[in-house]
Amino acid sequence: MRIKTTSDYMQSLQHLSPTIYYRGEKIADVTTHPATAPHVRAVGMTYALANQEKYADLATATSHLTGRTISRFTHVHQNVEDLLKKVKLLRVLGQKTGTCFQRCVGFDGINATYSVAWEMDKKYGTGYLERFKKWLVHIQDENLTVVGAMTDPKGDRSKGPADQPDPDQYLHVVERREDGLVIRGAKLHMTGAVNSHEILIMPTTAMNESSKDYAVVCAVPVDAPGITMIFGRQANDSRRDLKENIDVGKPSFGIVGGEAVIVFEDVFVPWERVFMDGETDFTGLLVYRFAAHHRANYGACKTGLMDVLTGAVTYLAQAQGTANGSHVRDKVTEMIHLSETLYSSSIACSAEGVPTPSGAYMVDTMLANVCKHNVTRFHFEVARLAVDLAGGFIATMPGEHDLDSEEVGHLVEKYFSGVAGIPVKDRIKIGRLIEAMTGGTAMVESMHGAGSPQAQRIMIFREGKLNEKVKLAKALAGIPRREK
């Protein structure tokens, strides 16, 4: 691993030159710009953890391609243990950053592409897997951060890719040259895009024959010519941009993953970086596998976030002298219960993992969908309980400038004091942390990241084996079997 530490990672980003806009202006250096630096630090934690003895076993793996020690985020899962370690790693990272650490999307894209490339090659005699392995060894050895890019704009959603008035609403191949492809389109909501090294492009949905040009998987560096990124707004982003400290809630880390729009205006991709081109019959499988891996993760990283929230409200209740109230304890219990229910599904879909023909391991897809679906419910409920326990306080608190003011600072100190011995500033800091973790963008990401709720319901119904269940019911009711 060439990039070993957070500092290595930051330096590596400074050597790239992506085109990034934010609020109408260009960002020169993502590692120092207030809008992007918190997200850089969150990814930095994925590097840092690999160097801590306590977490090395979770945060690193042995490459099945080279035998070298690599970051787990660049690993192809080789067994159930790999899947379980990943889950545990994600929970720890959620606890340490309280936010999205971004490397999962590329991680899952790598795992999905690997196994599907094997199957495409098997069917069509293509050589995608070898190409992909070469690229992957490079990623592993350099220890690069890869953003998986899946979500197209989709325009009018009542129409498919080929029926859009504007053909670019889904990313597609506009030219095939001797040395490679040219692609055009955009990917929305791209987590970690601005501070990654590479983009792994994947189709956003299952496609049919009519959409051959849209069935493309390939990798490009983030600063390839023709790529423009526009960094999205987040809840309370201006506080962050103004370099406020306490009032951002989490001084070091961001609210979510640092999402951006990536626009591809005729970007060239050499053939050795193309891993699917026109195999529409594999688009569904790729999306399915990517989605399942990604949904499995949410039950782990979000549990880490909920652990933090549970700790935060507990501390606040201690500061206010309410920690022993029976209703306070009951709500904290509920927060833990929901968190661990989520975590269960992440563990379960990993424990029930199975090998694909390529040898790469897949999570149980039913349980992975169930996992993410619960995130879309329980994270909101945990946030609601946190807001309940935190009190109106988190919505009406004076700001840090008031706290520091000569005129009113002493009044804030006086009237926001609680139990003796807990500094007012600490109480306010925790209040701001809860505000940051329960409001707006944090919740939206939890709802829609890894697929909106309805996407999971479709899979859950489809994989519910209803015919088998009907047979069970008929047997118990004493209904004789008949020819169908």
Active site residues: 100, 104, 191, 259, 294, 298, 301, 445
Residues touching a copy of itself: how many (CB under 8 A)?
158
Q: Which stretch binds a copy of itself (CB under 8 A): 8-16, 38-46, 203-211, 223-231?
A: 223-231
Nearest approach, Cβ of 136 to a copy of itself (angstroms)? Answer: 28
Q: How many CB atoms lie within 10 A of CB 47?
A: 23
Among 307, 358, 361, 362, binds a copy of itself (CB under 8 A): 307
Does position 184 interact with a copy of itself (CB under 8 A)? The reply is no
Does position 108 interact with a copy of itself (CB under 8 A)? The reply is no
Among 23, 68, 134, 177, binds a copy of itself (CB under 8 A): 23
Q: Is 368 helix (H, G, I), strand (E, B) or coil?
A: helix
SS (H, E, C) 321-341: CCCCCHHHHHHHHHHHHHHHH
Q: What are phi and psi for residue 218, nearest 5 degrees? A: -165, 170
Nearest approach, Cβ of 65 to a copy of itself (angstroms)? Answer: 27
Q: Which stretch binds a copy of itself (CB under 8 A): 39-47, 50-58, 121-129, 339-347?
A: 339-347
Q: Which is nearer to a copy of itself, 357 or 392 (CB)?
A: 392
Does position 243 interact with a copy of itself (CB under 8 A)? The reply is no
Q: What would you report as the CA-atom Rg of the chain, rounded to the nearest whole angstrom?
A: 24
Among 15, 67, 324, 357, binds a copy of itself (CB under 8 A): 324
Q: Is 421 exposed, middle or buried (0-12, 13-18, 19+ CB in 10 A)?
A: exposed
Does position 16 interact with a copy of itself (CB under 8 A)? The reply is no
Cβ-Cβ contacts under 8 Å for 263 (sequence gap 6 or more): 185, 186, 227, 228, 229, 230
Nearest approach, Cβ of 86 to a copy of itself (angstroms)? Answer: 14
Does position 155 interact with a copy of itself (CB under 8 A)? The reply is yes
Binding mask of the shown chain, residues 361 to 380, with x at each position contacting a copy of itself by CB under 8 A:
-----xx--xx-xx-xx--x
Longest distance between any two alpha carbons in the chain, whole Å: 86
Among 57, 163, 175, 388, binds a copy of itself (CB under 8 A): 388
Q: Is 193 exposed, middle or buried (0-12, 13-18, 19+ CB in 10 A)?
A: buried
Q: Which is nearer to a copy of itself, 3 or 390 (CB)?
A: 390
Q: Which stretch binds a copy of itself (CB under 8 A): 52-60, 69-77, 141-149, 153-161?
A: 153-161
Helix (H) or strand (E) holding 455: helix 453-462
Does position 123 interact with a copy of itself (CB under 8 A)? The reply is no
Q: Which stretch binds a copy of itself (CB under 8 A): 51-59, 206-214, 281-289, 408-416?
A: 408-416
Q: How many CB atoms lie within 10 A of CB 136?
A: 24
Helix (H) or strand (E) holding 436: helix 424-438
Nearest approach, Cβ of 296 to a copy of itself (angstroms)? Answer: 11
The Cα 8–Cα 424 span in angstroms is 38
The Cα 316–Cα 418 span in angstroms is 9
* 461-to-139, 179, 288, 293, 466 alpha-carbon distances in Å: 37, 44, 14, 18, 8
Q: Is 478 helix (H, G, I), strand (E, B) or coil?
A: coil
The residues in 453-482 that bind a copy of itself, with binding defined as CB under 8 A, are: 453-454, 457, 460-461, 464, 466, 468-479
Facing residues of 148 across strands? 200
Among 18, 44, 109, 249, binds a copy of itself (CB under 8 A): 249
The residues in 33-92 that bind a copy of itself, with binding defined as CB under 8 A, are: 84
